[in-house]
Amino acid sequence: MQRSTILLAVMAAALPLAACGSSSEPANNSAAAVTTNGTEMSADTLGAKIRALPEGQRRGVLFRAIRDAGPSGASCQSVTVMKEAAATNGNPTWNAVCDGTTQWTIVLTADQSASVTGPGPVTIK
């Protein structure tokens, strides 16, 4: 099992949104605010932030977690399927399929990181 910090991935997913728009008012982007204010957040809160992301950004967060998990995740080119799973020890959990061939499990933890396990056979569609 590898651990991967996903906080940076959430921030990276939110950055393109920050570039959109020309308003001088601060954007109401809670995912970006969480990553920049340095406050602690529970795994449930982090899970809610990931759930609230648009599908493409959520795929990007899961993709970064898998790619950052180590050499076996480096071959992942894209997350082709993703599905939230039952919580693991009370922590929000997602299953993601890379390139339609391997499945990974990503468990968000209270320290704002993710436990990533895989690759394994694809069981979700």
pLDDT for residue 82: 95
| Secondary structure class of 12 (helix, strand, coil) | helix
Has this prediction a pTM greater than 0.85? no
Query: What residues are paired with 107 via a beta bridge?
Result: 93, 115
| Secondary structure class of 3 (helix, strand, coil) | strand
Q: Please, what's the b/e burial string for 35-51 (b: 16 or more CB within 10 A of its CB; e: otherwise)? A: beeeeebebebbbebbe
Supply φ then ψ for residue 112, to 5 degrees: 65, 35
Task: Give the residue from 18, 42, 31 showing the smallest Cα distance to 109.
Answer: 42
- The count of other CB atoms within 10 Å of the CB of residue 58 is 21
**11-38 pLDDT, tens per residue?**
444 444 444 433 343 333 333 333 444 5
